[in-house]
Structure 1
């Protein structure tokens, strides 16, 4: 049995977290491991989950308040040794430059499109496996 990948999902919106789970499904692509989710609605919860370890990918909602996913991404990239890759949910395509500033490895726009999201998540899972992380 293939091990699962753990995906942290950060959003203050329960509907957004649900959309992420549904878009990814149990396995976002046939050639990547099944996924399980750790849901966080606050920055302290994100930091605690990352400190505990075992997170393979972070999905951060750039529209979360009061601390948006872009700021969280930049912070964890600065503070977490071997920070997991980040998939950022952005409000509009024009915000892609902010995703680059935050050092996210990938970005998709709200609302969550299942095909686009699953493809981006699978790409991060593949690249993580390729580097042996």
Structure 2
């Protein structure tokens, strides 16, 4: 049985969640586990799933409503013990400083570029796997 990694994707926009799912594929790189996507459309659902545990990486939409991914990232970094790494989707490259403020581990621009996104996600999954060894 192949190891799997659970990636939580938060966006109120189903199209954004689909772009993330398609860019991820079965696995974003050959040297990382097969990915299982867990979709959340509300901040409450994100907190519920993180409290439940088992999340390896979070992908948060910076443009989500009613709470953007940057605010959500900052909140979970403060409130969730051993918070998983966060990949933030930002609207413009100039928003990278906001991703830093939110304490995101990585950021890519939206709309999702499949190659850039898969590379960033794979990097966070590798880092998570090294921490668990």
2:124 corresponding residue in structure 1: 124
2:87 corresponding residue in structure 1: 87
- CA-to-partner distance for each residue in 1:23-77, whole Å, 9 max, x for gaps? 0100100000000011000000000000111100000000001100000000000
Give runs of aligned pairs for residues 29-68 of structure 1, distance below 5 A. Answer: 29-68=29-68
List 4+ stretches of structure 1 deviating above 2 A.
Answer: none
For residues 40 and 50 of structure 1, the distance between their equivalents in structure 2, rounded to whole angstroms, comes to 11
For residues 8 and 132 of structure 1, the distance between their equivalents in structure 2, rounded to whole angstroms, comes to 18
CA-CA distance at 1:132 after TM superposition: 1.5
Secondary structure class of the residue paired with 1:108? strand
Aligned length: 133
- CA-to-partner distance for each residue in 1:91-121, whole Å, 9 max, x for gaps? 0000000000000000000100000000000
Secondary structure class of the residue paired with 2:127? helix
Query: TM-score when scaled to structure 2?
Result: 0.98
For residues 96 and 82 of structure 1, the distance between their equivalents in structure 2, rounded to whole angstroms, comes to 23
CA-CA distance at 1:2 after TM superposition: 2.4
For residues 131 and 94 of structure 2, the distance between their equivalents in structure 1, rounded to whole angstroms, comes to 30
1:2 corresponding residue in structure 2: 2
Secondary structure class of the residue paired with 1:35? strand
In structure 1, runs of 5+ residues without a counterpart are: none
Give runs of aligned pairs for residues 82-121 of structure 1, distance below 5 A. Answer: 82-121=82-121
In structure 2, runs of 5+ residues without a counterpart are: none
Query: TM-score when scaled to structure 1?
Result: 0.98
